[in-house]
Amino acid sequence: MKLSGISVLILIIFGLLVLQSIGGVLQIQNYRKAVRRVHQLGNVGMGQRRGKFFDGHVAIIACDSDGIITGAEVLDGSGVWSRFHPVSSFLGRPLVGSSIFELLKLTEDLDKKEWKRWQGYIRALEALEVRLTDRELTREQEAFMETKRGKKGKKLR
């Protein structure tokens, strides 16, 4: 039985979709394992920076109830084989043992380009700050939540 050119193309596309699905499942498993590992160290904050191709990252940072960082892991790149790895420094300072509040003050003076570079880390620190201080959401965060949920708080599709 001989396959025509269209049949071969359809088989190749189907094979690529299957490989992409398998890669997605592997990435989700890797993410869940990393979150569990870091969550054992304390409260967890997560942030991401979407890159154009390979320069994005996902940061997971843990701290104790006083805001002292107890551990952090980051996923650099977007390949299927990328894995989370421990991170030891942020903006030239040691990450573990530092206060999230001090590190957030350091980020206030960053220019736009540097802020974008460290965006995932900053968002993870901000998430921890929100969790620890129960501060009010900013207008930008409220607007984001409004677009994701209806007025009654029901999740939209």
- Rounded to two decimals, what is the model's pTM? 0.72
CA dihedral (42, 102, 87, 50) positive or negative: positive
Per-residue pLDDT for the chain (157 aa), expressed as one digit of tens each?
Answer: 677 888 889 999 999 999 988 888 888 888 899 999 999 998 899 888 887 766 778 899 999 888 899 999 988 876 667 788 898 888 888 888 888 898 888 888 888 888 888 888 899 999 888 888 865 556 666 666 566 555 544 444 3
Q: What angle do CA 14, 15, 19 make, to 5 degrees?
A: 120
Mutual orientation of helices 100-107 and 119-133 as an angle, nearest 10°?
130
| Domain locations along the chain | 5-148
pLDDT score at 62: 93
pLDDT score at 144: 62
